[in-house]
Amino acid sequence: MDIRLAKERIKNIMANKPDSKKPLLFRHIFKINLNHDIILSKIMLHDCSMYMKSPDTNNSYFGFQNAIEYKINSKIEFDKLKKIKFEPISNIKNDNILIFGTSSFNMDTKAKFPWEEIPKAYFFIPKFLITFSKKECHLTYTLKIDNQFSEKKILNDFQEIAPIINPDKKNKCVQKINLNKKSLLPDKETYLKNVHRILSDLENKKYSKLVLSRIEKYTLSHNIPADLIIDTIIKKHTNCFNFMIKKNNYYFIGSSPEELITLNKKNYFTKALAGTSKKDTLIYNKKELQEHEYVIEHIQKTLEPISARIDIRKNKKLLNLDYAYHLKTPIEGELVKNNHILDILNDLYPTPALAGSPIEESKLNIQKIEENDRGWFGGSVGFYTNNGNGKFYVPIRSCLVDKNEIYFYAGSGIVDGSNAKNEWDETEIKLTHMKSVIDGLIQDNIN
């Protein structure tokens, strides 16, 4: 890869620094040859790194190091994100900056175990972004134009990443990993008691639905390489949004079927996804259909006032994820004006599929009942562009990796008529999505 042109551009910018009220970003896009599979383990070495791949596009993104980052710990801070605009100085026309990140299920609360050391939301522009499309691979280098901006800086940066863009193709030797312990947070008895408590609240009309989550924790003999998890997810769950975000040496990894919002100018797409069963007779299940309708109503109520057109499919479809079926209803439309995707995101999530109904009442009761923090589980994950377009999913099939400990998350929606044992079984089904990935990489030595 020849960086001489980029160096010349930096010299010119330093000699004639543009005048702009927006933050200036130097951008240079290189066409490179890289093997998709080889670079995963390399980018994981950086504390600030990410991977994202959507099932409806050929593009996959690998980002590492940050040109700009935002560690957000309140909804007020999150709301300010959309106001930040950048001025790219690029070697290509119509260069559109991508800002990647994730946000918590509840932005209004203080972080609890196991999320104390992780910001409530985290967004960043990678200094190095590797984009794989159908036939090509590009490296986008982004550098903030400030007092540290110099020709020497780009030389140091590219020397540092040489092992990534010129990787060793030798097979990695993986240490044998054993499963030492499984923990249920809360235990099954407590979870069932909580379901009965919610059913009592439903009888008293405190709310009409509440989603109860739980954690299954693995303690392993050694740290599990995150690149092996991602690599297995990529191969196993091709019809989901697969992602990884590393921050403060924690890995948030997942594979989500639930698209929250995609926005391209005024055109948007989302889907209601609620209702789960091992059987394809799900579409006739009254309880699951009721849960699904809550989500449709929420999306319609949120989007209709800002839409020139909204189309909600009348016939519900089944999404087959091998281990389970989900009810889904595609929804698309056109906005009256060019709204920023973060505005829509803030209004849409959490949906009744993750919180319950009514939303705010459900969130308050979740805080009272659940001892452990959901963190980024059930929040949002994806990216937006400098002009306000983007794509976000709900990270519902996800886990948090902290060294040799893995926290798997799942939840179930409790409505009038729910059965406590069936709700536990539903979380077991949902946990299969991510646990099956890990189980294939470790040995179970528990007696």
Q: Mean pLDDT over residues 311-322, rounded?
A: 90
| Structure token pair of residue 179 | 């499963």
Tell me how far apart the alpha carbons of residues 435 and 319 are, in angstroms, rounded to a whole number: 20
| Structure token pair of residue 109 | 């609360």
Cβ(378)–Cβ(395) under 8 Å? yes
Q: What is the pLDDT of residues 383-433, one digit of tens each?
A: 999 999 999 999 999 999 999 999 999 999 999 999 999 999 999 999 999
Chain CA centroid to CA 226, Å: 16
Question: pLDDT band at 444, cuts 50/70/90?
Answer: low
Tell me how far apart the alpha carbons of residues 142 and 148 are, in angstroms, rounded to a whole number: 13
* Strands, E assignment, 104-249: 121-132, 137-144, 178-185, 209-220, 241-247
Q: What is the pLDDT of residues 80-138, one digit of tens each?
A: 999 999 999 999 988 889 999 999 999 999 999 999 999 999 999 999 999 998 889 99
Fold designation for 178-444 = Anthranilate synthase (3.60.120)
How far, CA to CA in Å, does 51 sit from each of 203, 232, 263, 271? 44, 13, 20, 23
63 three-state secondary structure: strand
User: What is the predicted pLDDT for the residue at 174?
Assistant: 65
Neighbours of 136 (CB within 10 A): 11
| Structure token pair of residue 257 | 């079927």
Q: Mean pLDDT over residues 264-276, rounded?
A: 94
Minimum mean pLDDT range among 20-29, 55-64, 66-75, 145-154: 145-154
Minimum mean pLDDT range among 47-56, 236-245, 274-283, 318-327: 274-283
Tell me how far apart the alpha carbons of residues 374 and 211 are, in angstroms, rounded to a whole number: 12
Q: Is the peptide bond before 352 cis (omega within 30 degrees of 0)?
A: no
Domain boundaries, the chain: 4-165, 178-444
User: Sign (positive/negative) of CA torsion 338, 132, 146, 19?
Assistant: negative
Question: pLDDT band at 167, cuts 50/70/90?
Answer: low
User: Sign (positive/negative) of CA torsion 217, 221, 226, 227?
Assistant: negative
User: What is the predicted pLDDT for the residue at 172?
Assistant: 59
Does 169 have pLDDT greater than 70? no
Write down the mean pLDDT value for the chain.
91
In 3D space, the residue among 411, 346, 407, 431 whose CA is nearest the CA of residue 380 turns out to be: 346
Does 446 have pLDDT greater than 50? no
Q: What is the dihedral of CA 69, 408, 188, 326, to 10 degrees?
A: 100
